Structure 1
Amino acid sequence: MNISVANIETLKLADAEAVLKDVAAELRADKVVPYLGPGLVALGTPAIPVTPEDLSVFFGTKVALPKRAKGNCWAAAQHIESMKHRNTVSALMAEAFGPEVAPLPFHTFLAGLPLALIVDTWYDGAMRGALAGRSDWGEAQGITRAGIGEDRWYRFYDPAGAESDRATAEGWKTVLYKPHGSAAPAKNWLISDADYVEVLTEIDIQTPIPDVVKNRRTERSFLFLGCRFHDQMLRTYARQISKRSRAPHFAIVDEATLTKNELRFLLGHAITPIAMSLPKALDVIMSA
């Protein structure tokens, strides 16, 4: 990517928009992978939880949570799984993410680009909905290995929602990667601590990430949109999914809420923070 950025202060000034326009041009040319967090879908004020903290609150309205699990959706899900049953966790996730989420204009914009890979880290189906008018794409989803009796880390789905396979996935023009699962089409959920035990053990050697994702990221950079990195889980996934790709990467950040740990993570992994509101950034990208 022919973009030179001296430091984070550069991207707080007027030329932040110019840099983002250059990134947008690379995105249109399929040289950048969009990495979507829940902050994107939150712009549409959907009837679903739109942060990990919101999801923890939802769990707390259904089951009494111990203090250690409040505010932490992964610990909350683990408590429910341990005290009740995995089926209870799955049912609550299906309830939380049951309402249909309409694609935003930016989802539709991405669906109209010839992108090899889109990463979407939340559980809604908005990006799948935006791609519905096409037939040349498919989806890879992370799955829980808890109790399934299968040596699998992920499943593939075609545009109609039918399960597919890795050989077919290699031929898709666009791969939508949902590393934590999704409500659509099959209600796959990685959410409890137990779900992530094996994943986090293996992810450093990349086993849980589909080959089709690893192959397509190699010559591309990443643009993080609507993402936070204030939890180790979120940082680990961002780091491992973007591993062995092409730097530099970029992230749209809210300077008012960005923590020191988040900034340290970004700068330590060749991710340049662009201090700009997400709505403004999306407008710049779509109009570039």
Structure 2
Amino acid sequence: MTTATLANPQALLGDVAAGFRAGTLVPFVGPGVSALEEHGAPLSPEELADFFATKTALPKRAKGNCWSAAQYIESTRFRDTVTVWMQEAFAAGVAPSPFHHWLAQLPLPLIVDAWYASEMHAALLASGRGDWAQVQGITRAGIGEDRWFRFYDATGAACEADTAAQATTLLYTPHGGIAPAANFLITDADYVEVLTEIDIQTPIPEEVRQRRTGLGFVFLGCPFNDQLLRIYARQIMKRSSDRHYAVVDVAKLTRNEARFLEEQNIAAIDLPLGEALAALMAA
């Protein structure tokens, strides 16, 4: 990491808190936020791969990799089995953390939830607000439609993009989610389709592209140890601000993770995640 990305973490948290209040920063919330507490659902790609391994014997190449594991299941047991097992993996639900609830009270233009457990959806529902909508990435396998995502209003009903565009807050779940309709982008084949066009931004909703303009992103509880996750984050940030933040343990960053943060001008907030979230909520 460069010295520019290792500024005083408390000062950086102050910048993030101010940006959230002003609506100039986008929370990019990963499963690590929920993983601060114990839950019955998998809260990392590795845990999801382990769940799949309890359902069927996986080949060596698929062990520890949820996307490859899902692809193997789809190839041997069809797509419906993947969907059913994903629903089973997240059936117990993951209660929103205090931080999810705190975010849900803010009139943020855009929130990204980068996991399948739909905690942010649940927090927005619990907030009592009616001025939000959601757009989810979806698989194109077997749907017979030329679309990459679906929109939902604050009640969970499917809606059109024009309706979602009127919302104060748009929740974007690029990988899908258990709620409201169990859409999952999960297999290698799903991502191959997306990655063939992601450079031209087709899989990213136009409303997301419009809202991110001029905004910075704040990565919280997000793993970047997988190339797929780095590609997705990079493409979602494209044409936004040139200043972003991530709460990370700098000492544990891999070379690829450190390079990613530096290339994307993401300032590392070198604090334990729980401490950083508590400070943001108290600011």
Is the TM value for this pair above 0.5?
yes
Question: Does residue 182 of the first structure (1) align with residue 173 of the second (2)?
Answer: no
Aligned to 1:140: 135
Aligned to 1:25: 18
Measured against aligned partners, the alpha-carbon deviations of 1:239-281 in whole angstroms (never above 9, x if no partner) come to 0001100021010002343111100011011111111110011
2:230 is aligned, of 231, 235, 257, to: 235
Aligned to 1:204: 199
Alpha-carbon distance in structure 2 between the residues aligned to 1:164 and 1:259:
41
Aligned positions of 1:30-45 closer than 5 A: 30-45=23-38
Unmatched segments (≥5 aa) in structure 1: none
Aligned to 1:69: 62
Aligned to 2:256: 261
2:123 is aligned, of 127, 130, 134, to: 130
Measured against aligned partners, the alpha-carbon deviations of 1:86-120 in whole angstroms (never above 9, x if no partner) come to 11111110000111221111011101111000000
Aligned to 1:213: 208
Deviation of 1:7 after TM superposition, in Å, equals 2.1
Alpha-carbon distance in structure 2 between the residues aligned to 1:256 and 1:270:
18
- Counterpart AA for 1:243: K
Alpha-carbon distance in structure 1 between the residues aligned to 2:217 and 2:46:
25
TM-score by length of 2: 0.97
Alpha-carbon distance in structure 2 between the residues aligned to 1:129 and 1:172:
17
2:96 is aligned, of 93, 103, 118, to: 103
Percent identical: 58
| Secondary structure, aligned partner of 1:42 | helix
Deviation of 1:131 after TM superposition, in Å, equals 0.8
- Counterpart AA for 1:32: L
Alpha-carbon distance in structure 1 between the residues aligned to 2:204 and 2:53:
31
Alpha-carbon distance in structure 2 between the residues aligned to 1:19 and 1:182:
31
Measured against aligned partners, the alpha-carbon deviations of 1:134-162 in whole angstroms (never above 9, x if no partner) come to 10001000000011100010000111111
Alpha-carbon distance in structure 2 between the residues aligned to 1:19 and 1:185:
35
- Counterpart AA for 2:142: G
Alpha-carbon distance in structure 2 between the residues aligned to 1:232 and 1:77:
17
Structural RMSD (CA)? 1.1
Question: Does residue 170 of the first structure (1) align with residue 139 of the second (2)?
Answer: no
Deviation of 1:44 after TM superposition, in Å, equals 2.7
1:91 is aligned, of 84, 87, 94, to: 84
Measured against aligned partners, the alpha-carbon deviations of 1:146-190 in whole angstroms (never above 9, x if no partner) come to 111000100001111110110101100000000010000100010
Deviation of 1:6 after TM superposition, in Å, equals 4.7
42-51 or 206-215, which deviates more: 42-51
Measured against aligned partners, the alpha-carbon deviations of 1:15-67 in whole angstroms (never above 9, x if no partner) come to 21122112211111100000011101112322100100000000001010000
Alpha-carbon distance in structure 1 between the residues aligned to 2:203 and 2:276:
31
Alpha-carbon distance in structure 2 between the residues aligned to 1:254 and 1:55:
23
Question: Does residue 7 of the first structure (1) align with residue 4 of the second (2)?
Answer: yes
Question: How many residues were matched structurally?
Answer: 280
Unmatched segments (≥5 aa) in structure 2: none
37-46 or 66-75, which deviates more: 37-46
